[in-house]
Amino acid sequence: MLPKISQRIIQEPSAMDELLALSSQCQRISFAAGYPAAELFPKKELEEAFVHRSQASKDDLYQYASVAGYGPLRKKLATKAQTTGITDIDENNICLTQGAQQGISLLADLFLDVDDGVVVEGPSYIGAIQAFESRKPRFYEMEMLNDGPDLDQLEEIVSSHSVKIVYTIPTFQNPTGVCMSVAKRKRLARMAEKYNFLVIEDDPYRDLRYQGKDLPSIKSFDRTGNVVMLGSFSKILAPALRVGWLVADQEVLDLVNKLRSASDFQPSNVTLQMIDQFLEENSLSAHIQRLRQVYGRRAATMQAALEEYLPQGCSYSRPEGGFFIWVTLPQGLSAGKLLQDGRPVTFIESSQLYAASQRADQLRLNFTGVSEEQIREGCQLLGQAITKERWALTA
């Protein structure tokens, strides 16, 4: 017989795996996964970058390296972080992680004991909820409004409960697509100072803006080291590289690096140097510009298709960037039920995206991993499914 697993761990199938399974079970069109467009991966450039770097390097490309990751790449990312308004930053404020997911997980592990307080947006990113869940915290939720989470609600929570971490995706939030206003970004940084919590600013979609103007990061308003920003190459280069990064002040970074060393020792120098050489040989902004054009068209196509095909009573978000549109169904309808009927079209239904509450009448649609034709067809199928479900309900 096995020993008992930790009291922290819940023995349920992973919601993330269910999500991936959902995409593969789909009969026709899947809006479920948060995949970037595979046809836009800079395959040839990455091949060349790797071969050049491997040939040019001594054998140390393949050897053990440092826990924080390849220095020159950290330097480039420090410069990139400056464009979000962060000053006083250099490569020593960067730690390269196995995707941004590892950043969330390390911070959760570093700060949380059982029953410690964590605030997330309602709804939020399922991977973050899972990373926190395995520490068995107390979850609180702040409702998503059109300009970001409800910070009055947050103030009530943190002034009456002990909260260690506030997790937010300020730019083109997953799943709602909402962008946090500058005023709220600043206020959140100030609240972190006042109430001594850590803000995890998860910002993987920042570069994928199709309309409007870039906003400063929450981290740029941080005066006390209470904000950690996470970035990722998954959405702007390729997910399979598994490279993200964490921007933090020294105290947090030292602790993260130590825990990371015990967790998986260090990142892959092979993929880090592949990326570093890619950045030397190519323009990342030119590549991102291409992504913006394609994804911007897909976002517009999905909005037009939803406008055309969704029955009355539905509403949906109009994000200025990112990967997702968020749909709210007419009263009484359940998004999960739409997934049970032959699954001509799949998506993520809302109930598993709320950590503390539950809402079953919303769904997340991804528009980056599908063609414009698929988007139109899928939205039509979705509209039909909703109409059918509504009839069933009133019948």
Of 174-193, binders to its own copies (CB under 8 A) are: none
CB burial of residue 63 (10 Å; 0-12, 13-18, 19+): exposed
Sign of CA dihedral 256, 204, 350, 213: positive
Q: Please say which residue, 6 or 331, places its beta carbon nearer to its own copies.
A: 6
| Shortest distance in whole angstroms from residue 122 CB to its own copies | 19
Long-range contacts at 154-161 (CB < 8 A, ≥ 24 apart) = 154/119, 154/188, 154/191, 155/191, 157/117, 157/119, 158/119, 158/191, 158/195, 158/197, 159/195, 161/117
290 near its own copies, rule: CB under 8 A: no
- x/- map, 87-126, its own copies, by CB under 8 A: ----------xxx-xx--x---xxxxx-------------
Q: Which of 25, 211, 224, 289 binds its own copies (CB under 8 A)?
A: 224
Identify the sign of the CA torsion 212, 128, 35, 44. positive
Q: What's the min distance (Å) between Cβ of 313 and its own copies?
A: 34
Residue given tokens 């769904």 in the structure block? 363
The whole-angstrom separation of Cα 171 and Cα 179 is 5
Nearer to its own copies, 160 or 340 (CB): 160
Size of the site for its own copies (CB under 8 A): 87
Q: By CB under 8 A, name the one of 7, 283, 340, 394 that touches its own copies.
A: 7
Q: Which of residues 124-143 bind its own copies (CB under 8 A)?
A: 127, 130-131, 133-134
From the CB of 331, what's the least distance to its own copies, in Å? 34
Q: What is the phi/psi pair of residue 90, to 5°?
A: -140, -170
Which residues 236-255 are close enough to bind its own copies by CB under 8 A?
Answer: 238-242, 251-252, 255
Among 265, 290, 293, 313, binds its own copies (CB under 8 A): 265
Which residues between 22 and 41 bind its own copies (CB under 8 A)? 33, 35-36, 38-39, 41
Give me the least distance between CB of 315 and its own copies, in Å please. 29
Of residues 326 through 365, those in contact with its own copies by CB under 8 A are none
3-state secondary structure string across 112-160: CCCCCEEEEEECCCHHHHHHHHCCCCEEEEEEEECCEECHHHHHHHHHH
Cα–Cα distances in angstroms (integers) from residue 10 to residues 71, 119, 135, 142, in the given order = 38, 20, 10, 24
Among 96, 120, 151, 165, binds its own copies (CB under 8 A): 165
Name the minimum Å distance from CB 312 to its own copies: 36
**CA angle, 270 then 273 then 278, to 5°:** 125
Q: Which of 356, 391, 372 is nearest to 124 (CA)?
A: 356
Output the smallest distance, CB 387 to its own copies, in A: 32
* 53-92 positions binding its own copies, by CB under 8 A: 54-55, 58-67
Dihedral angle at the C-alpha atoms of 80, 86, 88, 94, nearest 10 degrees?
Answer: -50
Give the interface segment with its own copies, choosing from 79-87, 221-229, 288-296, 313-321 (CB under 8 A).
Answer: 221-229
In this chain, which of 22, 29, 31, 50 binds its own copies, going by CB under 8 A?
50
Cβ-based nearer residue to its own copies, 105 or 220 = 105
Whole-angstrom CA distances from 50 to 233, 242, 272, 274, 372 are: 16, 15, 10, 5, 33
**Stretch of residues binding its own copies (CB under 8 A), selected from 15-23, 319-327, 352-360, 376-384:** 15-23
Q: Taking the complex as a whole, how short is the minimal distance between the CB of residue 37 and its own copies, in angstroms?
A: 9
